[in-house]
Amino acid sequence: MGAGVIKGASGGHRRGARRRRRGTQPMAEINVTPFVDVMLVLLIIFMVAAPLLTVGVPVELPKTAANALPTDAEEPLTVTLEADGTLSIQNTVTARDELVAKLRAIADEREGDRIFLRADGGIAYADVMEVMGALNAGGFSNVGLVTDTGGPTLDERDG
């Protein structure tokens, strides 16, 4: 006959108790290491990319209480008028007598007619209006004036 070990009638465990196997219990912890790794990589990407999104010509913009304009899908065209009278289209310095011709060539290539004018706060009003007239003559009728927020308001409320 055969030899073996005989257990009690209940099979060695209490009646009704669940049989637990080693390693099959649900894990009660969440591993956040991959999540943190992805977040750090995204943070580094945005920290590197954010300075590249601004126009590189430094100008002391006037402050106003106006809200920001909504953005389009097309990259905005920017003309900058610096304190010394230097004109730039995006980051390229342009002579005043070549401005209208260059703007017409750019307007033929673009879908929209929106353009942003960044002018130093110390520039005379007549000079800014002269450049705005050139923008209009160059084919851009939707001119947005770029300012910094947080400036004074005329209705005596805090901006």
pLDDT of residue 53: 72
Domain ranges (residues) in the chain: 77-147
pLDDT band at 3 (very low <50, low <70, confident <90, very high): low
**Pick the residue with more confidence: 114 or 38?**
38
Q: What is the CATH number of domain 77-147?
A: 3.30.420.270
pLDDT of residue 20: 57
Rounded CA separation 110/123 (Å): 29
The stretch 131-143 carries a mean pLDDT of 88
Is pLDDT at 69 greater than 70 in this prediction? no
pLDDT band at 7 (very low <50, low <70, confident <90, very high): low
**pLDDT tens digits, one per residue of 34-66:** 889 999 999 999 888 887 776 567 777 777 777
% the chain with pLDDT above 70 = 75
pTM (2 d.p.): 0.53
Is pLDDT at 5 greater than 70 in this prediction? no
The total of other beta-carbon atoms located within 10 Å of residue 95's CB is 9
pLDDT of residue 14: 56
Kindly write down the DSSP assignment for every residue of the chain, as one continuous string: ----PPP-TTTTS-TTPPP--TT-SPP-----HHHHHHHHHHHHHHHHHGGGGS-SS---PPEESPPPPPPPSSPPEEEEE-TTS-EEETTEEE-GGGHHHHHHHHHHH-S--EEEEEE-TTS-HHHHHHHHHHHHHTT--EEEE--EES---SSSS--
